[in-house]
Amino acid sequence: MMEKEPCIALLENHGIKPTANRIVILKTLLSSSMPISVMELEEEIATIDKSNIFRTLMLFVEKHLVHSIDEGREGVRYEVCFSEKESIDDDQHPHFLCEKCHRTFCMKDQPLPKITNIEGFSIHSANYVLKGLCPTCKNK
């Protein structure tokens, strides 16, 4: 029996029907070494129209296959979530946005501050984006 493509398994594990377009979009996200914006994604994929790319991305976010990283005025970037579990996201990590080269780095080895149960509030999401200069820009 032929082994199932990892991309297809990843989609199915998140309850997403693996259509051709979705596979292309997921592959592009996976091939990017850093979180990317919708615009960067559109530049990479010329074969799928922009509204389709956006809709697919929103579906991926909804199904917890993709993290969205809110960078304020810089916009939003996306990355594939590698959480092992469906119920808890064990792949959450802070990000670092370089104010000079505008690249977003994953700080996978940095722990997230733990904030739980603030009386009267219900937390739906959190974004930890650090801003400053990356090593390359700092040494210029």
Rank residues 21 and 32 by Cβ distance to Zn ion and give the closer one: 32
Closer residue to Zn ion in complex, CB, 48/106: 106
| Residue (of 128, 121, 125) closest to 105 by Cα position | 128
Q: Which of 24, 112, 127, 5 is nearest to 77 (CA)?
A: 127
Residue 104: count of CB within 10 angstroms of its CB = 19
As a whole number of angstroms, the distance between CA 21 and CA 34 comes to: 21
Smallest distance from Zn ion to CB 74, Å: 13
Q: Measured from the CB of residue 38, what is the shortest distance to Zn ion in angstroms?
A: 16
| Residue numbers at the binding site for Zn ion (CB under 5 A) | 79, 98, 100-101, 106, 134, 137
Residue 103 Cβ, how far from Zn ion at the closest point, in Å?
Answer: 6
Number of Cβ atoms within 10 Å of the Cβ of 97: 20
Provide, rounded to whole angstroms, the least separation between the CB of residue 106 and Zn ion: 3
Is 81:63 a contact under the CB 8 Å cutoff? no
Nearer to Zn ion, 22 or 67 (CB): 67
Select 48 or 80, whichever has its Cβ closest to Zn ion: 80
